[in-house]
């Protein structure tokens, strides 16, 4: 956003600092020539509106002829921007067409009732009956992929397989979705399975107003008993910035009317629902609290009561790696009993393990379902997950350091040369500031600081930037914009890929002050 006048002022200032004729020492003269040429190249690019437009959008890569292959010299900066944005959109569309967006779910139901509700008389004469019998009694696998056909048309192929107590079946579905306008889309679905006959469905989504939309889904299920039609309609409206209201009407196999209110904020998620239907009518309230930590920890609880009984659920979920979230929920119900549900989300794949513990509400089952997962998680987190993530981060940092080693070495040499060339200018600046009791930088460091006791084993990686910062002082003021400070004259990156800060000890009006600034944070001193 810098103006041409600001560019010229910065160019003149750096030219005075790095001009070779200002340095008599042969070594300093050579270093000054190199830095002077770099400043001149930068000014040539930024002072030309066309090359500046390419650099703003495409960076240095755009200056290496890649941009000029498609841009005519006579075009204006605005036309250049439009051309690059058009090419970028085309690349995004090609990339979109190559994506399949796979999604999958694997669910494994486990019957562990023998741990708590054991019938000893059944196992008296069975060898090995002293051990509880834990078995898998149901499984479900589903998978779907999307194939963009055009910018508005998408084909979706999905399938699922289920089995329970030795019996099971599966189905396969093909859906064709078309975005008709910015306000809606339509979808045709065709399906078939070994337990049920062919399925034909139609789904329509439409924005009625900026705050209201409707979804309608109608289906015809063919079976040996005849044709079974079904219709589901959902009307939704934004009640306020964070709250949605839903009205649902379902007719067919399980007819019902449902209304719900969902409030989702940065720190919480609240849902209240009421359903009247055949065979189930119920009322449900749930609340989820979102902790603002780097692991995205969430705790939740819900109460559901209806003709089927009453169920209380509580649990938590937490991010365990960049793409993985692990969660556990305890379900206590009458007459359902006690269950523990473990879920792992890995990118677009979901692994779900519902473990049925008892058919009755037993305090021991509730206790172990609550405490057991917590103990196992904290043990695994300390012994396996944390060391693995630490080693992975170190490998990534090491890889990044290796790939940028030569570039960083060059930047370091340029920064050291710049500091040597700044000495005379800094001496004059300090004399002028001392005369007016202005801003004098006593000490300044840039890099990785370790202030947290939990990170005391980590190594501090900082460089002294006292001279470069003093050189930037003008009229007793130091102003740094919102950008990485590694790009400032006399600076370089001492710890690639790690969090960096700038620490400054300065004197103003004869009084010492200290300030700490994040790498990309703007800084203006002296502070008011």
Q: What average pLDDT does range 419-435 have in this prediction? A: 89
Share of the chain above pLDDT 70, in %: 91
Mean pLDDT over the full length of the chain: 86
Q: What average pLDDT does range 469-486 have in this prediction? A: 88
Q: Is the pLDDT assigned to residue 254 strictly greater than 90? A: no
Strand 298-306 to 256-264 pairing: unpaired
Calpha distance 485→465 (Å, rounded): 11
Q: Is the pLDDT assigned to residue 186 strictly greater than 90? A: yes
Calpha distance 234→250 (Å, rounded): 9
Q: What are the C-alpha distances in Å from 494 to residues 467, 468, 498, 503?
A: 17, 15, 9, 14
Residue pair 205/231 in contact (Cβ under 8 Å)? The answer is no
Q: Is the pLDDT assigned to residue 181 strictly greater than 70? A: yes
Sign, CA dihedral 393-394-397-402, equals negative
**What CATH class does 4-62 carry?**
mainly alpha
Q: Which residue has the tokens 């794949």?
A: 349
Closest to 230 (Cα-Cα) out of 253, 247, 212 = 253
Q: Is the pLDDT assigned to residue 69 strictly greater than 90? A: no
When mean pLDDT is compared over 14-28, 72-86, 172-186, the highest value belongs to 172-186
Q: Is the pLDDT assigned to residue 124 strictly greater than 70? A: no
Calpha distance 98→95 (Å, rounded): 5
Q: Which residues contact 103 (CB under 8 A, 6 or more apart)?
A: 143, 144, 145, 348, 349
Q: Is the pLDDT assigned to residue 352 strictly greater than 80? A: yes
Q: Is the pLDDT assigned to residue 43 strictly greater than 60? A: yes
3-state per-residue secondary structure call for 209-248: ECCEEEEEEEEEEEECCEEEEEEEEEEEEECCCCEEEEEE
Calpha distance 274→300 (Å, rounded): 19
pTM here is: 0.65
Which pLDDT value is given to residue 371? 94
How many helices and strands, by DSSP H and E, does the chain display? Answer: 8, 23
Q: Is the pLDDT assigned to residue 358 strictly greater than 90? A: yes
pLDDT in tens, 261-311: 999 999 999 999 999 998 789 999 999 999 988 888 999 999 999 988 999
DSSP character at residue 460: P
Calpha distance 471→429 (Å, rounded): 7
- Give the CA-trace dihedral at 237, 243, 247, 250, to 10 degrees: 110
- Residue 497, Cβ density class (10 Å: 0-12 exposed, 13-18 middle, ≥19 buried): middle
pLDDT in tens, 224-236: 788 889 999 999 9
pLDDT in tens, 194-206: 877 899 999 999 9
Least confident of 242-246, 329-333, 495-499: 495-499
DSSP character at residue 477: B
Q: Is the pLDDT assigned to residue 324 strictly greater than 70? A: yes
Q: For the chain, give every domain's residue range.
A: 4-62, 104-117+134-140+258-361, 149-254, 407-525
Residue pair 221/193 in contact (Cβ under 8 Å)? The answer is no
Which pLDDT value is given to residue 67? 43
């Amino acid at each position: 956003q810098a103006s041409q006048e600001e560019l010229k002022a910065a160019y003149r200032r750096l030219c005075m600092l790095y001009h070779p004729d200002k340095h008599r020492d042969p070594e300093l003269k050579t270093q000054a020539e190199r830095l002077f040429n770099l400043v001149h190249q930068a000014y040539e690019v930024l002072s030309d509106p066309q090359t500046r437009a390419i650099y703003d959008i495409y960076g240095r890569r755009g200056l290496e002829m890649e941009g000029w292959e498609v841009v005519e010299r006579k075009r204006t900066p605005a036309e250049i921007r439009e051309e690059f944005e058009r090419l970028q959109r085309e690349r995004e569309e090609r990339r979109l067409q190559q994506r399949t967006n796979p999604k999958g779910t694997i669910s494994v139901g486990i019957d562990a009732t023998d741990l708590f509700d054991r019938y000893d008389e059944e196992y008296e004469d069975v060898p090995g009956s002293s051990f509880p019998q834990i078995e898998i009694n149901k499984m479900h696998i589903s998978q779907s992929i999307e194939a963009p056909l055009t910018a508005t048309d998408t084909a979706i192929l999905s399938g699922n397989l289920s089995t329970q107590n030795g019996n099971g079946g599966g189905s396969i579905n093909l859906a064709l979705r078309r975005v008709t306008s910015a306000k809606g889309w339509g979808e045709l679905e065709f399906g078939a399975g070994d337990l049920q006959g062919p399925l034909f469905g139609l789904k329509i989504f439409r924005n009625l107003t900026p705050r209201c939309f409707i979804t309608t889904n109608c289906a015809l299920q063919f079976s040996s008993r005849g044709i079974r039609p079904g219709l589901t309609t959902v009307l939704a409206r934004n009640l306020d910035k964070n709250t949605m209201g839903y009205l649902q009407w379902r007719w067919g196999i399980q007819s019902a009317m449902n209304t719900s209110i969902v409030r989702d904020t940065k720190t919480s998620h609240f849902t209240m629902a009421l359903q009247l239907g055949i065979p189930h009518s119920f009322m449900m309230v749930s609340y989820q609290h979102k902790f603002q930590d780097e692991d995205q920890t969430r705790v939740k609880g819900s109460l559901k009561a209806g003709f089927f009984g009453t169920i209380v659920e509580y649990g938590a979920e937490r991010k365990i790696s960049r793409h993985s979230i692990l969660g556990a929920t305890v379900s206590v119900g009458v007459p359902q009993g006690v269950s523990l549900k473990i879920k792992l989300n890995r990118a677009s794949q979901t692994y779900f393990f519902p473990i049925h513990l008892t058919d009755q509400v037993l305090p021991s089952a509730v206790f172990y379902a609550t405490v057991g997962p917590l103990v196992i998680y904290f043990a695994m987190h300390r012994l396996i997950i944390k060391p693995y993530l630490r080693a992975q981060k170190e490998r990534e940092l090491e890889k990044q350091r290796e790939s940028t080693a030569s570039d960083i070495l060059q930047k370091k040499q340029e920064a050291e040369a710049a500091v040597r060339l700044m000495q005379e200018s800094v001496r004059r600046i300090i004399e002028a500031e001392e005369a007016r009791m202005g801003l004098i930088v006593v000490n300044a460091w840039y890099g990785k600081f370790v202030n947290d006791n939990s990170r005391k084993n980590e190594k501090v990686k900082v460089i002294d930037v006292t001279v470069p910062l003093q050189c930037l002082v003008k009229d007793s003021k130091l102003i740094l914009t919102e950008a990485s400070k590694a790009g400032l004259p006399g600076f370089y990156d001492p710890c690639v890929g790690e969090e960096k800060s700038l620490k400054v000890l300065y004197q103003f009006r004869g009084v010492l002050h200290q300030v700490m600034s994040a790498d990309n944070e703007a800084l203006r001193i002296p502070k008011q």
